[in-house]
Amino acid sequence: MADRVILHLDLDAFYCAVEEQRDPRLRGRPVAVGGRPESRGVVASCSYAARRFGIRSAMPMSRALRLCSHLRVVPPDHEAYRRASRRVMDLLHEFTPLVEQLSIDEAFLDLSDTALPGEVAARRIQRRINGEPALPCSIGVASNKLVAKIANNVGKASVRTGRPPNSIKVVPQGREALFLAPLPVKELWGVGPGTADKLARLGIRTIGQLARYPEEGLIRRFGKNGRDLVLRARGLDDRPVVTEHETKSVSQETTFSRDAGDREALRGTLRALCRKVGERLRKKSLKGATVKIKLRWPDFTTFTRQSTLREPTDSEDVVFQAAMELLEKSWTDGQRVRLLGVGVSHFDALPARQLHFRDVVQGRDDEREKGFPWRGE
């Protein structure tokens, strides 16, 4: 079998990079794209200059401003980001049809069938994106998706200039395990904080230690996932670059500008969320059998509840009735709510289709989060 050449591309601080194009005065300054602090906005993206102050994505904007009082807050312009992303993805398709778009700013490419060596291809692609649409990007190159993604993370982390890294990191064929060995186990896909803690109790803190640990012992402790962990630790991953995806769920949520505790206000919000979910279901020709709600209290405690319908539906009225019943069981009158969400999953006769960019934007978290996925407002 011919050597595989897989690239993982990530647009550096994408939203901020687009905003810097629109307003060059922002370049080199601490910038955060997101909602206003007075309306409980969060940081959607922040420049590398802002990150030097400890600012990170998903951080409340009010906290970001406390960390950097001269932070420039820019409201998001999603249409501008969609246009920029579309230009990048079109450019990637000029190199290969095997492009797996993971989100608005991230993709895998399979260049195995091209004549270009991985590093040469990466540099050509980076030059094209740096030139037009004039965006910084970082690329990891390896023989598989797992190592290419980690290589990109390592490459970006090695650049500490306060500017977009625009890095390229190549892991040669046959050097995957050696490259991974010194890295912490949390770098591996599938190793969250809980699994990392369990591995630490076994004396396993690096990927190399995990690769050397007896496979039978890991299988006893982690079941089938134990064998998967060993394979990943050894840099083995045969997943293909996938150009089509199925939608796993359709969901909608909102964070209240002020905690809501009025039943009619919650009911009205839930009705509006269900209407949007119903519209998206019908647009995608999907019918789901499971309805879920998501609630977050003022102390950020978050939980979900779900119920199964007698038959799949795309009706916003049916979804609302089920969601309202779940809300009545989960919420007591007067209890303050910070966030409310609703979603539908377990679809009947999923249609196979190309993953279009608008689906990535509208449901980018749907494919990423474990548990119940959500799309933010």
Average pLDDT over residues 187-194: 90
**Confidence (pLDDT) at 373:** 37
Q: Do both 35 and 160 map to the same domain?
A: yes
Read off the amino acid at residue 262.
Answer: D
Q: Do both 263 and 363 map to the same domain?
A: yes
The radius of gyration of the chain from alpha carbons, rounded to an integer in Å, stands at: 22
Q: Do both 78 and 137 map to the same domain?
A: yes
- In angstroms, the Cα distances linking 85 to 102, 108, 121 are 12, 14, 20
Q: Which residues belong to the active site?
A: 106
**Confidence (pLDDT) at 255:** 86
Question: Has residue 144 been placed in a domain?
Answer: yes
Residue with tokens 């978290």: 365
DSSP secondary structure string for all residues of 25-69: GGTTS-EEEE--GGGT-BEEEE-HHHHTTT--TTSBHHHHHHH-T
Q: Do both 21 and 133 map to the same domain?
A: yes
Q: Do both 127 and 269 map to the same domain?
A: no
Q: Do both 215 and 266 map to the same domain?
A: no
DSSP secondary structure string for all residues of 277-332: HHHHHHHTT--EEEEEEEEE-TT--EEEEEEEEEEEE--HHHHHHHHHHHHHHH--
Average pLDDT over residues 149-175: 95
Average pLDDT over residues 130-144: 96
Q: Do both 187 and 163 map to the same domain?
A: no
| Helices first, then strands: H and E counts in the chain | 14, 12
Question: Has residue 306 been placed in a domain?
Answer: yes
Residue with tokens 């598989």: 144
Last residue of a domain, one of 169, 185, 219: 169
Question: Has residue 361 been placed in a domain?
Answer: yes
Give yes or no for a contact between 318 and 282, defined as CB atoms under 8 angstroms apart.
Answer: no
Average pLDDT over residues 238-267: 88
Last residue of a domain, one of 169, 196, 211: 169
Measured between alpha carbons, how far is 9 from 141 in angstroms, rounded to an integer? 9
Binned at pLDDT 50, 70 and 90, residue 349 comes out as low
Expressed as residue numbers, the domain containing 360 is: 249-367
Residue 161's DSSP bridge partners are none
Q: Do both 29 and 159 map to the same domain?
A: yes
Question: Has residue 340 been placed in a domain?
Answer: yes
Residue 293's DSSP bridge partners are 305, 342
Is the pLDDT at 31 greater than 90? The verdict is yes
**Confidence (pLDDT) at 2:** 60
Q: Do both 111 and 221 map to the same domain?
A: no
Q: Do both 132 and 224 map to the same domain?
A: no
Average pLDDT over residues 311-334: 94
Question: Has residue 332 been placed in a domain?
Answer: yes
Give yes or no for a contact between 110 and 121, defined as CB atoms under 8 angstroms apart.
Answer: no
CATH at residue 302:
3.30.1490.100
Question: Has residue 238 been placed in a domain?
Answer: no
Q: Do both 98 and 196 map to the same domain?
A: no
Question: Has residue 239 been placed in a domain?
Answer: no
Q: How many domains does the chain have?
A: 3
Measured between alpha carbons, how far is 58 from 43 in angstroms, rounded to an integer? 5
Q: Do both 61 and 149 map to the same domain?
A: yes
Which of 206-210, 288-292, 329-333 has the least mean pLDDT? Answer: 329-333
What are the backbone dihedrals phi and psi of residue 116, each rounded to the nearest 5 degrees, phi first?
Answer: -85, 130
Average pLDDT over residues 90-101: 95
CATH at residue 187:
1.10.150.20
Global confidence as pTM: 0.72
Question: Has residue 240 been placed in a domain?
Answer: no
Which of 18-27, 97-106, 217-226, 347-356 has the least mean pLDDT? Answer: 347-356
Is the pLDDT at 313 greater than 90? The verdict is yes
CATH at residue 84:
3.40.1170.60
DSSP secondary structure string for all residues of 86-147: HHHHHHHHHH-S-EEEEETTEEEEE-TTSSS-HHHHHHHHHHHHHHTT---EEEEEESSHHH
